[in-house]
Amino acid sequence: MDDIRTNGIEDKIVSVLNAKASQEELAEVRQWLSESDGNRRLYDEYAAIWASSWSLRRHNDYQPDVAWTLLSKRMKMEKADTQYGIPIRKIVMVAAMIAVVFLAGMSVHYFSDQSAKDMSPLTYTEYSSPYGSKSKVKLPDGSMVWLNAGSFIRYSSDFNITNREIYLEGECYFDVAHHENISFQVQTSTITVKALGTAFNVKAYPEESFVETTVERGAVQLIDPMSSSQETTILRARQKAVAVKAVQPVEKPKETPLQDNEPSKIKSQKYIPMTNVEVNSNVKTEAYTSWKDTRWIIEREKLSSFAVKLERRYNVRFVFDDEELKDYVFSAKLEDETLNQVLEAIKLTAPILYKVQQNTVYLSRNKSFK
């Protein structure tokens, strides 16, 4: 069994996970991690507990006294003959169970990956936001992430220690905390977005033919991870870049939530090369980032793409009776409107009729539907 030496390191680990650690504390934690595999496992387990507790704290319906009572009772029931009275991994399991009770609109998963070069496993944290919802997450470095509907992210327990790398599928808005020594990177199936301290939006749904990056504040660097050239694209505030995928998706993937002990969907993600990057300047960033706010702004958008956003936001499916309807252009400012209110607004501004059956919205230009 590995010799786990704490030496009062717990307080410094807490500071690291809460993004309050000094450079000296970060260096001390890194040194402690390098001393043994047992230290690495203990840190991974602390990080998993921290992620669960943050997820709970962010919801208004979280009751800390109730959660702590449940956790304490379970710890006493599961008491084992170990150095800590109960295996830390048991606490992680209980914390995850409590998270399931109190979390709404977001799921959290923890799992390990065994490296061939390093026999100590890394713990991965994955957040997902299903269709019909959006979520907000605080990362261990203090950065904030908003997840749009049908999105999920993944990062390892090395986050904010040796790297700040996140893998994304879907759409997220990032407000990145500055770190002098470790750059912040968002990896998608096509490009990597690198930032030091900025606010930006990345849209990378697997069913769409492009990856879109919009910078609201600061600057980011777009990197093709498979390119042999050193050329990169720099985006600054009020700029948007669209990277077109060389391999076009042929089928919209079905959303299936992860089950316990199931490998991550991101883990097997394949790289999709891009053909080109188109950069636009002086864009109205709120048209690409306001999905996370109370007021959602739609700026001259074709109904074909607007309908896709509505599908994710309200967890429905759109069917067009007439393909020409997709070319109608809409602008709107929406504030917590229901789906029916949005459809009524569309009906009033264009010669479009609609019919809703279960989770399907039918659009037609005729008085009767086919």
Average pLDDT of the residues in 130-158: 95
| pLDDT-based confidence at residue 213 (cuts at 50, 70, 90) | very high
From 195-204, 227-236, 357-366, the region with the lowest mean pLDDT: 227-236
pTM higher than the cut 0.75: no
The domain locations on the chain are 10-289, 294-364
C-alpha Rg value of the chain to the nearest Å = 23
Please give the residue that has the higher pLDDT: either 3 or 156: 156
pLDDT at position 60 over 90:
no
47 vs 63, higher pLDDT: 47
pLDDT digits (tens, 9 = 90+) for 77-87: 444 434 444 45
In the predicted structure, residue 346 carries a pLDDT above the cut 80:
yes
Rounded to an integer, what distance in angstroms lies between the CA atom of residue 363 and that of residue 307? Answer: 10
Q: Domain 294-364, what fold?
A: Phage tail protein beta-alpha-beta fold (3.55.50)
Is 33's pLDDT higher than 70?
yes
Any residues with CB less than 8 A from the CB of 18 and at least 6 apart, and which? 50, 140, 142
Domain 10-289 architecture: Sandwich (2.60)
Give me the pLDDT at residue 80, please.
42
Mean pLDDT in the chain?
Answer: 78
Q: Which pLDDT tens digit goes with each residue over 266-324?
A: 444 567 888 889 999 999 999 999 999 999 999 999 999 999 999 999 999 999 999 99
- Check the CA dihedral 299-305-311-312 and report its sign: negative
Residue 107: pLDDT over 90: no
Q: Which residues of 63-96 are buried (b: 16+ CB within 10 A; e: fewer)?
A: eeeebeeebeebbeeeeeeeeeebebebbbbbbb
Residue with tokens 């980032």: 289
Instruction: Look at residue 201 in the predicted model and tell me its pLDDT.
Output: 98
Residue 308, both tokens:
């896709």
Cβ of 359: how many Cβ atoms within 10 Å?
12
Higher per-residue pLDDT: 159 or 16 = 159
pLDDT reading at 131 higher than 50: yes
pLDDT score, position 70: 47
* Residue 266, pLDDT score: 46
Say which amino acid occupies 84. Y
Phi, psi for residue 340 in degrees, rounded to 5: -65, -35
Structure tokens at 300: 């001259």
Cβ atoms of residues 211 and 274 within 8 Å: yes
Of residues 168 and 40, the one with the higher pLDDT is 168
